[in-house]
Amino acid sequence: MDKKKQIVESAIELFATKGYENTSIAAICEHSKVSKGLVFHHFKNKDGLLREVFKRMAEIINEVAECVVNADTKQSPRARLLDFLEKIFLSMALPEHKLYYQFDFQILCQRSTRALLKDLFDERYQLMMTSFEEILCDIPAAKPQIDSHIIIAEIEGIALNYLFSTENYPLMEIKERFIQKQLLSLGLQ
């Protein structure tokens, strides 16, 4: 792993476990076994490192959303929706992604980090909206814009509960019920 990626991965882990405000550049250097000079060579400051961390997290989410863009248009809207929802939940369930998603929610809830990353949050949300709308516009019972907001909000709520649960959270069972509910509400049952 190259040093820049090593710094980003360490920052993700520390930001997710200790919080952005409680993580110093020195702690990131110690964790990633690099010098402060190297961190500042790659990143202007801690905020610059935060933006890079968020971009890495956005890449993961973009990979999931790209499945809609690259979907076989010969597939039914139902099949495309099922595929997209499956990929979202599978990505969320990957142990190596859990820290990313936890940190994502943490920075979203902090006013200072949310303001710093507003453009990136907006861009990511628009990508998700567009991805769902592209599928939903082919479903007669759907109201693409409204249903896209609803689906995204429900997924974020499920993710929040899953990511911060201290017990065995039944994510896959919830996914199945969630998908059944979406199919029913869209007349695709």
Domain ranges of the chain: 46-185
Residues 82-111 have pLDDT tens digits of: 999 999 999 889 887 888 888 888 888 888
pLDDT at 27 over 90: yes
User: What is the percentage of the chain residues whose pLDDT exceeds 70?
Assistant: 96
Lowest mean pLDDT among 36-40, 59-63, 79-83, 171-175: 59-63
Whole-number pLDDT of residue 58:
79
Pairs from 162-167 (Cβ < 8 Å, separation ≥ 24)? 162/92, 163/92, 163/98, 163/101, 163/102, 163/105, 164/102, 164/105
Strand segments (E) across the chain: none
The residue ranking higher by pLDDT, 152 or 124, is 152
**In the predicted model, what is the mean pLDDT of residues 128-144?**
95
Whole-number pLDDT of residue 19:
86
Whole-number pLDDT of residue 48:
93
Residues 46-93 have pLDDT tens digits of: 999 999 988 887 787 777 777 666 666 688 999 999 999 999 999 889
Token readout for 27 is: 């702690």
Q: Residue count of the chain, please give it.
A: 189
How many Å apart are CA 99 and CA 13, to the nearest integer? 7
Lowest mean pLDDT among 4-13, 57-66, 161-170: 57-66
Whole-number pLDDT of residue 17:
86
Q: Write down the pTM of the prediction.
A: 0.86
Whole-number pLDDT of residue 68:
65
* CB atoms inside a 10 Å sphere around CB 72: 8
Whole-number pLDDT of residue 69:
62
CATH of the domain spanning 46-185, picked from 3.40.120.10, 1.10.357.10, 3.40.50.720, 3.40.1160.10:
1.10.357.10
